[in-house]
Chain A
């Protein structure tokens, strides 16, 4: 991990203000705010088409916003692609992991930025570094030489996370990370998330499974039809209350 910028505990690393986005005549997001602090795990929940993915895609630069501000460490940003947000320390882990099954673990962790020695790929350095990342994350992958398509879903997930971590991100967004995982693999993923939290990485987890969010999260934010309808600290709320907000929440302004 590089040295984290010294921040006030209250200074948010991500601040999204008054975000609005429309697709043609369809309003996907209207006036949504989001704040995330270093080392915080925030759950983002809501029904389908509530705007969760759209909000995250605006954060990573996959979509451009119609209006509103996105601040990273207090600085205005206008990401035009996920590559730009990656440079700012924001990583997204996709639901289907976005890995190349035909390549091995090491090659996947360094996908697209394989270390090189002269003209050639520096394979020794690549596998060594990959091993270091995997060890740091305490993830359970037999060998960096193993092809990803021969791994189970949970282990593929670990590789995807290891890949994200290898960029030394300050923010990690997990899109439905437990959707394709077994119970055991989910347990391991949640442990990994807590491990990341220790490294002061802020995380946003989009999930339909409230129990996962309640297991590791600090805060939960509910979107409904493109509006922010509720925000609660996990320690002050219950799954029941969050469910009620998802189903019948009305817009409220959180101080």
Chain B
């Protein structure tokens, strides 16, 4: 072959750094010179530069571990939570007002904590086969819940006691040479990480596992251990970074490490790693971290400008700090992440820069070794073999063999538990109404997600899109002064735009849905906070608020009297949004279950290549499904705003996990190809009832009462999602119970022979 003939053997390919790293350095130099010209006060001051290096140090440390994970074709979304949790754990152990431990024992505990988290991540992803983004996103939210639960949202400080242990806390301070000790610590870790990944067998094993796990396993590489190892490294790095932050700040806030996973993942990807696995370099990730931190810092802390202020008709120049409102930073960083994931497959892999350079010099462009074909294809794991129990089963067995049996049975059991716990309260109209309302929002999200999950994709952005749509609607009405109809239309457009970006990145650019919708997860929520920042968005026209009212209110509004019988009672409990949700569910359920389009969705999720061969336009099917999911989230957002008569940027937070859990409990498969509307609705009922039960004010036998705080409820829902996914993978698909029964049967049969 002529390709191999062109390779020169005398020069080995670069491992530690390459052209991309050089490009990043040049880019940063250009940015720096540009920044210095525009704003010398900031960029030429040694302090600012030092602060950037110091903050980069912590992110670079986390990026080292993350590079290993991403090269393995995995993802670790939990680093931000780990980072914060370590800070909180150290502070609670060390602070004199709590446990008053010494710094060494607290550090050892934190390292053990980090190792435990890494191990849990690794075991969930490898041995238990939970998709990495689901497992680690759940860990992220559980971690956040625990941080809030432990701190109660307050800061913990111990500046006085820290002085007694100066040698330890000096690690986070400026040394006698004039630079912060965190910088050499990070440099050391980066150099070690770079050599391990690029030059050692550990690194080679990582690249093999990320490139083709099956081939690596056949070659005798312990791929499970390689992946667990990367998660351990990632967690330990996050732990070290958390400790570095503690030594610097001598305290911790409940926001520690919040959304720092976004910065770290963006950094690794900008550094040239591929979200599709198998490529990445630690030095590049470190440079990416520096670039991302600079961008983050500039966005967050603003830049000095002059404003023209008119006083008495005269213009005055006033020095000011141009600062972006809250929410803008995650929104822009999320957008940066979405752009960055396109770099490796579309720029580096196609050698765009090299080809441009050759073209400019009038030379023959270098060969594209793998620009086409299936190289750019996200992860699509096939479900494991399942025996078809439904065919042979009869009666109750037939019901239990249904994939949605669990959800339906659980709904009934949970409702009965509620009745048993609080017979006085559970069955009354107000409680039923409250449950039904929570149910409606979740069910709407689950309806859309069912399509996406059945297609084999995922939408992590539904909660954020809900917030974006609600914010856009509220903003259009209150700030821009539009009438309710136009405002609803603007809300729909905003939500659909988010769905379009999701679909474009996933289908148009052939990248995994989880990364596209993860970017949107930050963008949409950031935009929602940005839009409503500093504004009081309440007092909408009552005709708009009717979208979120009970039927009774609507009847009253139009002066219709239905008397005071059963009809009245029903109209008190059922609201407009519930009817709307049921309508959408029926339409979506019929399309999914009985039309060719529904069959196309199942075919796409079952085996996309086979569906393509069969002439199904799977790209169209996936595109429509992702758009439909965004539409459902948008409708939920508009209804949310109408129901609360105001908008709060935390709308729909954690709802993505609830909705995914609902679909999975209802018989959907995280690997695609399964999921029904009835199942999703039952699954949503299960999640709603669990939340209602957890928040129930339980009257203790002694006469006291107990309510679980909201943070811990979120921790529980995270656990439920993991359990649901595990049940799906191991009970429904691998049918581990049948396997165990079979194993016992074989053992029983063989035992007499032994005897």
Interface contact B388-A147, CB-CB below 8 Å:
yes
Closest to B615 in A: A112
Knowing A82-B613, A111-B614, A112-B615, the reply to whether A102 touches B387 (Cβ < 8 A) is no
Q: Which residues of the other chain, A, contact B615 by a CB distance below 8 angstroms?
A: 83, 86, 112-113
Task: Give the shortest distance, in Å, between B734 (CB) and chain A (any CB).
Answer: 12
Closest to A163 in B: B614
Closest to A126 in B: B599
- Separation of A153 and B1 alpha carbons in the complex (Å): 36
Q: Which residues of the other chain, B, contact A145 by a CB distance below 8 angstroms?
A: 391
Task: Give the shortest distance, in Å, between A59 (CB) and chain B (any CB).
Answer: 15
- Separation of A149 and B388 alpha carbons in the complex (Å): 8
Interface contact B599-A107, CB-CB below 8 Å:
yes
Interface contact A149-B603, CB-CB below 8 Å:
no
Q: B748 at interface (Cβ–Cβ under 8 A)? A: no
- Separation of A86 and B614 alpha carbons in the complex (Å): 10
Q: A74 at interface (Cβ–Cβ under 8 A)? A: no
The 8 Å CB contact of B386, one of A98, A121, A150, is A150
Task: Give the shortest distance, in Å, between B454 (CB) and chain A (any CB).
Answer: 9
Q: B9 at interface (Cβ–Cβ under 8 A)? A: no
Interface contact A146-B391, CB-CB below 8 Å:
yes
Q: A138 at interface (Cβ–Cβ under 8 A)? A: no
Q: B609 at interface (Cβ–Cβ under 8 A)? A: yes
- Separation of A149 and B672 alpha carbons in the complex (Å): 14
Q: Which residues of the other chain, B, contact A214 by a CB distance below 8 angstroms?
A: none
Interface contact B383-A99, CB-CB below 8 Å:
no
The 8 Å CB contact of B600, one of A25, A83, A112, is A112
Chain A CB within 10 A, most for which of B387, B388, B609, B672 = B388
Q: A68 at interface (Cβ–Cβ under 8 A)? A: no
- Interface size in chain A (residues, C-beta < 8 A): 29
Task: Give the shortest distance, in Å, between B641 (CB) and chain A (any CB).
Answer: 34
Chain B CB within 10 A, most for which of A107, A143, A146, A149 = A149
Q: Which residues of the other chain, B, contact A143 by a CB distance below 8 angstroms?
A: 391
Task: Give the shortest distance, in Å, between B478 (CB) and chain A (any CB).
Answer: 42
Interface contact B594-A100, CB-CB below 8 Å:
no
Interface contact A100-B386, CB-CB below 8 Å:
no
B contact residues, range: 20 to 34
Q: Which residues of the other chain, B, contact A25 by a CB distance below 8 angstroms?
A: 1-3
Interface contact A103-B603, CB-CB below 8 Å:
yes
Chain B residues 361 to 388 lying within 8 A of chain A, measured CB to CB, are: 367, 382-383, 385-388
Task: Give the shortest distance, in Å, between A228 (CB) and chain B (any CB).
Answer: 21
Chain B residues 384 to 400 lying within 8 A of chain A, measured CB to CB, are: 385-388, 391
Interface flags, A94-118, vs B, CB<8A=1, else 0: 1001111111000100011110100
Interface contact B611-A26, CB-CB below 8 Å:
no
Q: Which residues of the other chain, A, contact B387 by a CB distance below 8 angstroms?
A: 150
Closest to A25 in B: B2
Q: A5 at interface (Cβ–Cβ under 8 A)? A: no
Chain A CB within 10 A, most for which of B367, B387, B607 = B607
- Separation of A111 and B613 alpha carbons in the complex (Å): 9
Task: Give the shortest distance, in Å, between A162 (CB) and chain B (any CB).
Answer: 13
Knowing A100-B610, A103-B602, A112-B614, the reply to whether A26 touches B388 (Cβ < 8 A) is no
Q: Which residues of the other chain, B, contact A99 by a CB distance below 8 angstroms?
A: 607, 610
The 8 Å CB contact of A114, one of B386, B599, B674, is B599
The 8 Å CB contact of A116, one of B1, B596, B607, B614, is B596
- Separation of A100 and B600 alpha carbons in the complex (Å): 11
Q: B606 at interface (Cβ–Cβ under 8 A)? A: yes
The 8 Å CB contact of B595, one of A24, A113, A119, A149, is A119
- Separation of A86 and B3 alpha carbons in the complex (Å): 35
Knowing A103-B602, A112-B611, the reply to whether A26 touches B596 (Cβ < 8 A) is no
Interface contact A114-B606, CB-CB below 8 Å:
no
Chain A residues 115 to 166 lying within 8 A of chain B, measured CB to CB, are: 116, 119-121, 143, 145-147, 149-150
- Separation of A25 and B386 alpha carbons in the complex (Å): 46
The 8 Å CB contact of B606, one of A83, A101, A119, A121, is A101
- Separation of A120 and B597 alpha carbons in the complex (Å): 9
Interface contact B607-A100, CB-CB below 8 Å:
yes
- Separation of A98 and B388 alpha carbons in the complex (Å): 20
Q: Which residues of the other chain, A, contact B613 by a CB distance below 8 angstroms?
A: 82, 94, 98
Interface contact A101-B383, CB-CB below 8 Å:
yes
Q: B616 at interface (Cβ–Cβ under 8 A)? A: yes
Q: B605 at interface (Cβ–Cβ under 8 A)? A: yes
Interface contact A111-B603, CB-CB below 8 Å:
yes
Task: Give the shortest distance, in Å, between B370 (CB) and chain A (any CB).
Answer: 12
Task: Give the shortest distance, in Å, between A216 (CB) and chain B (any CB).
Answer: 25
Chain A CB within 10 A, most for which of B386, B599, B672 = B599
Task: Give the shortest distance, in Å, between A81 (CB) and chain B (any CB).
Answer: 9
Closest to B599 in A: A114
Interface contact B611-A149, CB-CB below 8 Å:
no
The 8 Å CB contact of A98, one of B1, B2, B609, is B609
Chain A residues 35 to 58 lying within 8 A of chain B, measured CB to CB, are: none
Interface contact B602-A114, CB-CB below 8 Å:
no
Interface contact B674-A102, CB-CB below 8 Å:
yes
Q: Which residues of the other chain, A, contact B607 by a CB distance below 8 angstroms?
A: 98-101
Interface contact A100-B388, CB-CB below 8 Å:
no
Task: Give the shortest distance, in Å, between A141 (CB) and chain B (any CB).
Answer: 12
Interface contact B386-A147, CB-CB below 8 Å:
yes
The 8 Å CB contact of A111, one of B2, B594, B616, is B616
Chain A residues 8 to 36 lying within 8 A of chain B, measured CB to CB, are: 24-26
- Separation of A86 and B386 alpha carbons in the complex (Å): 32
Q: Which residues of the other chain, A, contact B595 by a CB distance below 8 angstroms?
A: 116, 119-121
Chain B residues 651 to 706 lying within 8 A of chain A, measured CB to CB, are: 669, 672-674
Task: Give the shortest distance, in Å, between B315 (CB) and chain A (any CB).
Answer: 64
Q: Which residues of the other chain, B, contact A107 by a CB distance below 8 angstroms?
A: 599, 602-603
- Separation of A99 and B606 alpha carbons in the complex (Å): 8
The 8 Å CB contact of B1, one of A26, A82, A120, is A26
- Separation of A24 and B372 alpha carbons in the complex (Å): 12
Task: Give the shortest distance, in Å, between A50 (CB) and chain B (any CB).
Answer: 14
The 8 Å CB contact of A24, one of B367, B382, B386, B606, is B367
Interface contact B383-A149, CB-CB below 8 Å:
yes
Knowing A100-B673, A119-B595, the reply to whether A150 touches B603 (Cβ < 8 A) is no
Closest to B367 in A: A24
Interface contact B606-A103, CB-CB below 8 Å:
yes
Task: Give the shortest distance, in Å, between A223 (CB) and chain B (any CB).
Answer: 17
Interface flags, B334-369, vs A, CB<8A=1, else 0: 000000000000000000000000000000000100
Interface contact A114-B596, CB-CB below 8 Å:
yes
Chain B residues 589 to 635 lying within 8 A of chain A, measured CB to CB, are: 594-596, 598-600, 602-603, 605-607, 609-611, 613-616
Interface contact A26-B600, CB-CB below 8 Å:
no
Closest to A111 in B: B614
Q: Which residues of the other chain, B, contact A26 by a CB distance below 8 angstroms?
A: 1-3
Interface flags, B40-59, vs A, CB<8A=1, else 0: 00000000000000000000
Closest to B608 in A: A100
- Separation of A26 and B609 alpha carbons in the complex (Å): 27
Task: Give the shortest distance, in Å, between A62 (CB) and chain B (any CB).
Answer: 10
- Separation of A98 and B382 alpha carbons in the complex (Å): 12
Task: Give the shortest distance, in Å, between B214 (CB) and chain A (any CB).
Answer: 14
Task: Give the shortest distance, in Å, between B499 (CB) and chain A (any CB).
Answer: 24
Interface contact A149-B385, CB-CB below 8 Å:
yes
The 8 Å CB contact of B611, one of A100, A146, A147, A150, is A100
Closest to B2 in A: A25
Q: Which residues of the other chain, B, contact A102 by a CB distance below 8 angstroms?
A: 383, 602, 605-606, 669, 672-674
Knowing A26-B2, A145-B391, A146-B391, the reply to whether A100 touches B602 (Cβ < 8 A) is yes
Task: Give the shortest distance, in Å, between B260 (CB) and chain A (any CB).
Answer: 38
The 9 closest A-B pairs by CB, nearest first: A100-B606, A102-B673, A112-B614, A102-B606, A98-B610, A111-B614, A150-B388, A25-B2, A112-B616
For the complex with contacts A100-B611, A101-B607, A111-B611, 4 further pairs of A-B residues with Cβ separation under 8 Å are A83-B615, A101-B385, A112-B614, A149-B385
Selected A-B contacts with CB under 8 Å, 17 pairs: A25-B1, A25-B2, A25-B3, A26-B3, A97-B610, A98-B609, A98-B614, A100-B602, A100-B603, A102-B669, A107-B599, A111-B611, A114-B596, A114-B599, A120-B594, A145-B391, A150-B388
